[in-house]
Amino acid sequence: MTPKNFENKIEEKIAEAARMLATAEYPVCFTGAGISAESGVPTFRGPDGLWEKHDPQKAVSLSSFRNQPEAFWDFARELVITSGASPNPGHQALARLEEQQILKTVITQNIDMLHQQAGSKNVLELHGSLEKADCRDCGARYSWQELEKILKRDETPECRNCSSLRIKPRIVFFGERLPEKVLENAWQEAQQADLMLVIGSSLQVYPAAGIPDLTLQAGGKLIYINADRGSRPEIFQLILTGRAGSILPRLADSALKISRGD
């Protein structure tokens, strides 16, 4: 396939996805690290994924955090400090669709808070977020802004109250349960959705990765917007292969035009 007809193909698929999105009763989206890749935030898997450089069991597990919290902060620094992460056109397109009452909810696995920074209001953070943190030894509370300043100085956060290094952000570590209420809300939203955009996720980590299946089982349809065809192409009605930051704005423009009857 020459680049020209590849481009036409993707245009046709974006037009088809826009029609499905504009005419859906209750469309939602499910996002993973891939939507933040164009903000400079590294993904977890793939050639230069974070799990190639950091052992997840060391970086983001409760047991190692207890004895060696520095390993987590090295990982966190790389995740959101080095990149100076800010929302990209993909996040902004989803916020625009929600503001125009097309998209109902963003269900995300990401902890980088970029959906909210882009303006999305109804965001379910399955794996929590870096926004708030607590000292595990004395309960002192911290905001991401405070911790970010320390990380940018290449230092490791230390509790102002009891000098412990075990200041843990409210994110889900490996071996930890997902926040019950958030997960229940996400299951409800997925079952209510007649369409789910699955964006930038390898769908490898459960229970999050099982959420698109709930939409399918409830009779809804799935559209995949991802850099590759992923491990479960058969569950998708439509697969738009490419960068979320380039596809989503075009998809949002077309869907908004259709919904306005332009």
164 is an interface residue for Zn ion by CB under 5 A? yes
Q: How far is the CB of 69 from Zn ion (least distance, A)?
A: 12
Cis link prior to 207 (omega < 30° from 0)?
Answer: yes
45 is an interface residue for ligand APR by CB under 6 A? yes
Q: Is 127 noted as a catalytic residue in this protein?
A: yes
**Residue 168: phi, psi to the nearest 5?**
-105, 120
Q: Are 65 and 156 in contact (CB under 8 A)?
A: no
Report what 120 binds from Zn ion, ligand APR, none; CB cut-off 5-8 Å by kind: none
Q: How far is the CB of 55 from ligand APR (least distance, A)?
A: 12
Q: Are 237 and 194 in contact (CB under 8 A)?
A: no
Report what 38 binds from ligand APR, Zn ion, none; CB cut-off 5-8 Å by kind: ligand APR
Judged by CB, which is closer to ligand APR: 168, or 259? 168
In the list 244, 251, 255, 256, the residue contacting ligand APR (rule: CB under 6 A) is: 244
Q: What residues contact 169, with CB distance under 8 A and at least 6 apart?
A: 76, 111, 128, 129, 130, 131, 132, 133, 144, 147
Considering only the stretches 12-20, 39-47, 183-191, 210-218, report the one whose residues sit in contact with ligand APR under the rule CB under 6 A: 39-47
In the list 14, 29, 32, 64, the residue contacting ligand APR (rule: CB under 6 A) is: 32
Catalytic residues: 127
Interface contacts to ligand APR, rule CB under 6 A: 32-34, 37-38, 43-46, 49, 56, 109, 127, 200-202, 204-205, 226-228, 230, 243-245
